[in-house]
Structure 1
Amino acid sequence: MKRKLIVLATALLAAAASVLFFTGPAYAATGLHIVGRNIVESNGSTFVMRGVNHPHAWYASRTGSFADIKAAGANTVRVVLSGGRWGTNTAADVTNVIALCKQNKMICVLENHDTTGYGEDGAAYTLDQAANYWIGLKSVLVGQEDYVVINIGNEPIGNTNPGQWTAATVAAIQKMRSNGFEHLLMVDAPNWGQDWTYVMRDNGQTILDADSRHNTVLSIHMYAVFNTASSITNYLDTFQTKGWPLVIGEFGWQFASGEVDDATILSEAARRNLGWLGWSWSGNTDPILDMTTNFDATQLTTWGQRIVNGAYGLKATAKQATIFGTTTTPTHPTDSPSPTPSTTTPPPPSGACTATYAVTGQWGGGFQADVKVTAGSSAIKGWTVTWTYGNGQTVSQAWNATVTSSGSSVTARNVSYNGSLGAGATTQFGFLGSWNGTNSVPTLTCAAA
């Protein structure tokens, strides 16, 4: 018995010592790296990707788009590259891309697009071939670990035998590490990135464990498979519960019934501190997914307005990586500060709610607005917001609320997941609308249940 107590005491002391002296991962982190579920910079600052995809492989002359994407508020740009399927982006070209990212103070996610749909698309390359492409570029990538994430292969397996993804991804990661790459690696899901057969969801730990540097982030692409709030939240909940690092590497918008619920993606990403990269700046064969018209940053499309100026868009949520320093607006001694208006808003009565309306983006004939609902001094179980337009505006599409119209009168009711609010708690919903002539802000009334 005494011997067992001595052994137990020794084990406890050893365990305590391991806790006292453990200061981080069992390897020296180089540049961007994973800590828990987060992407972290070399100085320990958490970095949350907020950006867009740029189809550089097909539009290599559109280098001015890097500055435009930064001006739109992005802190990251995911750059499409090809190692042969659509021509070859050479070491010199990739060097220039990295320089453009750094010049515009954005983290650069470099992705090889050759692998798209392998197994279903006969022209697609394997993940092993993609790893060889990166090995061929090693001389221009080493030393850029603070600035560059390597997305090994875009949507690397189609819908034919998606189960092959696990072994292929493990092998590609290990090939990258055995060839000396220290970078943060990003791996896309199978099923053309959408993982609807849940291969990545069910095998994520195998992928993460395969990385000897423990420096891999999983990436989901969300399109029409994720067309409801529940499909999105359920998927994201699984990764959060398991503690796995995840980014939403591509997604589109709900331009038609049955398409991706981008509003939920954006709001859930903000709530969970998840990174995202919208597809794409311009140049799509289906221009509904273009954020700009013909790469012109002054011509944002509806999709572009939502990504750039929306309540959870780039300008509202993106924070520049600290590797580039902080941005501040200087105050000049000769400047005369504008007076701050004095307003007093009485607190809502117990059990009631208030609502505020803001136009977050406006363009010829169209606009986007967001409404913030706040509970009073007591919790509420539901809410209804009503208003009447005075200038002929109409609502065309809404998210995070059920919105109906009767002439100029509009009624918005909570949906299943945002009706219950604690005292003083808030939620938001948004919508797209049309206007002609004047787009004045209406007066809102909020009723609580």
Structure 2
Amino acid sequence: MKAIISTVYFTSVVMTLVIITSCHRDNPVNVDHSTPTITVSGKNLVLAGGQSFVLRGINYPIIDEGLPTLGNPTRYKFKIDEAAKTGANAIRIQWYTNNTHWLDTSAEGSPGTVDGFLNNGTLSNIIGYCYQKGMIPILVVQNTVCESDWNYFKTVALPWWQQPAVLDLINKHKKYLIANIACEFGNVRWAEDPEAALGIFKTNYIQAVQKLRSAGITIPLMIDAPDCGTSSSPLAKVAKDILTADPARNIIFSAHTYWADYANTAAAIKTKMDEIDNTGTCFVLGEVGNWQDGNTCCVQNISTLFPVIVNEACHRGIGWLAWAYTQDCCKPREMTTNGEFNTLTTYGHEVVHNGTYGLLSGGGCAAQPLPREN
């Protein structure tokens, strides 16, 4: 986990459009269904054009590069160009609600700086440019990491998605955008009563999904596992219930594989992956990495587990996203030293060039390119 201190093939476009429309038949909001979205079908992810697709990519906390990058379109486009060189076909972009990021609370920025980049179109431009460079953008509210207060979830994280500027952004990019509701929110395995806590987790996420659908959001919603994203087993138990409660049936479930405490052998990892696979729902490994955090960064080296995890994911067609391209508190877990491709670290080279599972490996586990649009 990141330290508390700081993821049935459809054969035609028509079939995809029918499913999207029928899922929202009773939606009271006036939603434009003429633009398709990415959808899920069983365990599979289906692009708006009807192609089955596996997310294999990176996490890029570009917001943590601050004003020199966010305030300069030439600069953030250059950095996204560099990230695209990894071969990633998906990119998870961390964002923050009002006055929760250091740009809003430090001398470099001022209150409202982050919301300013939402309202002036910068975030929208970043999302669109990522897709232009061949990467499916996944937007995540990040200031919920390892939080467990459901009031915070309801009053801070969830309302962010429902504000007009965000709804406009989603509508603009709905063909290819995925919304990760809250990063690593909730405690279950770590709670005093795990069974009761899992019920609370399920109830609150069902309510959240239904509220976002009522707001007119039709794109895939990604839900992280509880306990700093690590508890895939509880999430697997409730995944079908949450999916069934979604009017759109368009949910991606995500586990973060910082599993050293309870799945630190190849056999244990296989068991976890089988459990995920057997849900019959669409799962991704939203964060995979070579180091695990605790109360501070870089507490435990899990570099021997990383290849086992991504190989197991590959064999099952489960997507994964490496943490992190740059801007991490754990330097050995950064893929680059400065966000430029020519500074790939040892870890970065493994993620990109490993002959078996690297993003650019050229084999069956490589990141498949996004289909070209006519």
**Pair in the same fold by TM > 0.5:** yes
Cα distance in 2 for residues equivalent to 1:128 and 1:230: 41
1:27 matched to 2:64? The reply is no
For residue 264 of structure 1, the aligned residue among 283, 305, 308 is 308
Matches for 1:41-52 after TM superposition, within 5 Å = 41-52=47-58
Matched with 2:79 is: 65
Q: Which moved more, 1:282-291 or 1:222-231?
A: 222-231
Q: Which moved more, 1:27-36 or 1:131-140?
A: 27-36
- In 1: Cα distance, 2:134 partner to 2:349 partner: 22
Matched, 1:219 2:254: yes
- Whole-Å Cα distance in 1 between the matches of residues 223 and 148 of structure 2? 17
Highest Rg: 1 or 2?
Answer: 1
Contact 2:131 2:176 (8 Å CA) reproduced: yes
CA displacement, residues 38-67 of structure 1 (integer Å, 9 cap, x when unaligned): 010122200111110011232241623211
Give me the whole-angstrom Cα distance separating, in 2, the residues matched to 1:170 and 1:36. Answer: 18
Is 1:289 aligned with 2:333? Answer: yes
Identify the residue that residue 358 of structure 1 maps to in structure 2.
none
Question: Are residues 149 and 127 of structure 1, via their aligned partners in 2, closer, same or farther at CA, if it must alter by over 3 Å?
Answer: farther
Query: Displacement of 1:259 after TM fit?
Result: 5.9
In structure 2, how many angstroms separate the alpha carbons of the residues matched to 1:290 and 1:233?
A: 26
Larger RCO (CA under 8 A, 6+ residues apart): 2
Q: Which amino acid aligns with 2:80?
A: F
CA–CA distance in 1 between the matches of 2:142 and 2:268?
26
Alpha-carbon distance in structure 1 between the residues aligned to 2:156 and 2:206: 14
Residue aligning to 2:241: 206
1:252 maps to 2:289:
yes
Using the alignment, how far apart are the partners of 2:177 and 2:79 within structure 1?
18
Measured in 2, the distance between the counterparts of 1:248 and 1:277 equals 6
CA contact (8 A) 1:50 1:75 kept: yes
CA distances 1:374-422 after superposition (whole Å, capped 9, x unpaired) = xxxxxxxxxxxxxxxxxxxxxxxxxxxxxxxxxxxxxxxxxxxxxxxxx
**8 Å CA contact 1:222, 1:260 repeated in 2:** no
Per the TM alignment, residue 36 of structure 1 is displaced from its structure 2 partner at its CA by 1.2
- Structure with greater proportional strand content: 1
After TM superposition, list the pairs within 5 Å mapping 1:50-449 onto structure 2: 50-60=56-66, 61=69, 63=76, 64-84=78-98, 85-86=100-101, 87=104, 88-89=114-115, 90-91=118-119, 92-119=121-148, 125-126=152-153, 129-136=156-163, 137-158=166-187, 159-160=190-191, 162-163=197-198, 164-195=200-231, 198-223=233-258, 224-225=260-261, 226-253=263-290, 261-310=305-354, 311-316=356-361, 317-322=366-371, 324-325=372-373
C-alpha RMSD of matched pairs (Å) = 2.5
Local SS of the residue matching 1:232: helix
5+ unaligned residues in a row in structure 2: which ranges?
1-14, 25-32, 70-74, 105-113, 293-299
Answer yes or no: is the 8 Å Cα contact 1:166–1:199 preserved in 2: no
Letter in 2 for 1:173: V
Q: 1:143 offset after TM fit, Å?
A: 3.6
Task: Work out the CA distance in 2 between the residues paired with 1:130 and 1:237.
Answer: 31
TM-score for both structures, normalised by structure 1:
0.62
Structure 1 residue 134: deviation in Å? 1.3
Whether the aligned pair in 2 keeps the contact of 1:127 and 1:156 (CA below 8 Å) is: no
Further displaced range: 181-190 or 202-211:
202-211
- TM-score when normalising by structure 2: 0.74
In 2, distance between residues paired with 1:232 and 1:81? 30
Q: Which amino acid aligns with 1:228?
A: T
Shift of residue 102, structure 1, vs aligned partner: 2.5
One-letter identity of the residue aligned with 1:319: Q
Letter in 2 for 1:203: V
Counterpart in the other structure of 2:29: none
Q: Does the 8 A contact of 1:32 with 1:40 survive in 2?
A: yes
